[in-house]
Amino acid sequence: MRGISKNYKVTNMLMGPDFRLTCISAQMLAQDCFASYMARHNVAAFDLARQSKMWIISEFYMRFSDPMPFWGDTVTVESWMSENPAVKVFIDYRLTHRGRVFSQGYAVWAILDIMSRRPVACAEILSPIECVPELTIGSHHHRISRGSDSVFSYSHVANNGNTDFNGHVSNITYLKMCSNAMPMDYLSTHRMTSVDVKFVRESFLGQELRCQVFAGAGPDSWTYVIQNGDGLVNCEAAASFVQGADGEVDYDNLEIRNA
């Protein structure tokens, strides 16, 4: 395909208590595939760092359909650039297992100058990468409407395990905070069908972060706001769930049996 296609195994580090790939892990695979895509064109994070530049993600959207792949299954991630880059870089992706699409979405990236933390024009930097607009998955414009009443909250002090190679708190940490803010009995009886995340500003090691959860407009829909100790918003998110677990497992024909 025009873009990149990469296979991954669902390991114990990527699965939840039901032995299936988690939604957060699916996003991690999509981001890893994007990193490999950029490395093929010599614009990986380590390439840009030598030019005093850095990749940063500003938002992503992802939807899911059950069943999620099981422990040991092989997942194929496809990724491509779907709009001509200016300042924003739109990357669409699709995750499949045995030819069935179980997740797809997009992410918006930008290249920043490390010293100024300001975005730079990236059309020339990314000129070797082919844009494939006809493969765009849905709309790239999603709006998060915050609810009025906070129903759950969770606080966390950013530690060494939360930062990435850019020196700030990783986007995956924000996702985990949103998950940690939800009651365990709810998460054990519901599965996520979509997630939409927008990153507003960076946070750093040692900062206290607070995630508030608001009831969304529809049933089993939630919005999340993560703020730092000064009350400034770092991240906003929205997620939808449905009640019930993934389907039955054919334990006799698992891929792990023949690994």
pLDDT tens per residue across span 42-78: 999 999 999 999 999 999 999 999 899 999 999 999 9
State residue 137's pLDDT score.
79
Give 144 or 141, the one with higher predicted confidence.
Answer: 144
Asked whether this chain's domains 1-141 and 143-259 adopt the same fold, the reply is yes
The per-residue pLDDT for 1 is 60
Ordered by start, the domain boundaries in the chain are 1-141, 143-259
Whole-number pLDDT of residue 216: 86
Note the pLDDT of residue 226: 97
Which residues of the chain form beta strands (DSSP E)? Answer: 4-9, 53-64, 74-81, 89-97, 100-113, 150-157, 190-199, 208-215, 221-228, 233-243
User: What is the mean pLDDT of the segment spanning 3-24?
Assistant: 96
pTM of the entire predicted model: 0.92
Percent of all residues in the chain with a pLDDT value above 70, rounded to a whole number: 98
Q: What are the backbone dihedrals phi and psi of residue 218, each rounded to the nearest 5 degrees, phi first?
A: -110, 175
Any bridge partners for residue 93, and if so which? 79, 105
Confidence of residue 236 (pLDDT cuts 50, 70, 90): very high
Q: Is 244 left (phi over 0), alpha (psi -120 to 50) or beta?
A: left
Phi, psi of 81 (to 5 degrees): -85, 125
How far is it, in rounded angstroms, from Cα 139 to Cα 146?
Answer: 20
- pLDDT interval class at 155 (50, 70, 90): very high
pLDDT digits (tens, 9 = 90+) for 160-187: 999 998 999 999 999 999 999 999 999 9
What CATH number does the domain located at 1-141 have? 3.10.129.10
Q: Using the predicted structure, report yes or no on whether residue 224 has a pLDDT greater than 80.
A: yes
Distance (Å, whole) CA 249 – CA 256: 13
61: its two tokens? 């959207």
CB atoms closer than 10 angstroms to residue 161: 7
- Confidence check: pLDDT of 138 > 80: no
CATH topology of domain 143-259: Thiol Ester Dehydrase; Chain A (3.10.129)
Q: How buried is 31 (Cβ within 10 angstroms: 0-12 exposed, 13-18 middle, 19+ buried)?
A: buried
Distances 35 to 98, 109, 149, 178, 196 between C-alpha atoms, Å:
23, 11, 38, 24, 20
Q: What is the mean pLDDT of the chain?
A: 92
Decide if pLDDT at 92 tops 90: yes
What is the arrangement of strands in the sheet containing 74-81, beginning at the earlier edge strand? 4-9, 74-81, 89-97, 100-113, 53-64, 190-199, 233-243, 221-228, 208-215, 150-157
Tokens of 89: 């870089």
Say how far apart CA 210 and CA 189 lie, in whole Å: 25
| pLDDT at residue 108, rounded to an integer | 95
pLDDT at 246: 67
